[in-house]
Structure 1
């Protein structure tokens, strides 16, 4: 693979990763409410989910998803329902002070799994990879799928680095809010609005 092409891919990937979107907002929300470790766990989950999208794009499975209206709708609505469930859970937290949030909500493993599910159940990510990765491969070499996998790994590495940095800074900000019940209420309700908004956006998404 051409080094210039790889550097161009990395630069574009960084810009795309830092662009405000569902994933980075999700990391920020978890970091503020549950601390930087929770944000990093969420970031790792979201990044792990990219493995499925990269593999699907390399093997052509994403093309099947794109061409099948039923499959696209199924994945889309499953993701939307999951996010609406997270919104409901955030509302249940209500005015709970951030320092006494339920342990299961703060569990890094649970947040890691949540990140994976949120990413995998977003069909727009699969379609994005299908459209994005081929622009940076060298055609006619016979190893196009391998090139796409390499690009996917590069994208994942820069994503986890940037998301982890965002989690640390958001966690520091959230630390200043710990123990304030009134603030905890607004943070929880804010998360509920964020999750519901992302869920609705996914549900209304078109190919």
Structure 2
């Protein structure tokens, strides 16, 4: 073995020994006296420090415009009929099966989109409940046999040409499902007020105040 090789091997062994000693020193816990109390060197000193908004992100988002208060729903202007077009029409779908009523109203809406008929509005009316009373053969006391719920949907047409009206109604009647009633009427103020649920107790209180 040459003297150069021996020197390299000795220096490599020395550096390895120094690395092991440094690791032993790092792993050992050194006790220090900080602020009149014992504290370990590997103890986290930042636990008592304020976070300064760490984890908050709302200040990074763009400022949103203040939300406006919902205005009271006003009745839209009713279009009058002309020689070439009908006025504002209400296509009313009603029935006891809510799924059939909902699907048929969606079919009417899609049909209007395909035919180029403008749909001014589409909404649901409050559900009406009716109790079916039955009287037994013996006795006079009646009891509730069934409760029928009537679901109604309105598809309001804004522009329907007179030449397209007969074809439109024919398609609706041919695709009308069983158990679903269909009616078409001109839109009036009474139809607009019908879409709101009646509150007789509130009406009575307002009458007492006035």
More helix by share: 1
More strand by share: 2
Q: TM-score range by the shorter chain?
A: under 0.3
> RCO higher in 1 or 2 (8 Å CA, sep ≥ 6)?
1
Structure whose CA Rg is larger: 2
Q: TM-score, normalised by structure 2?
A: 0.21
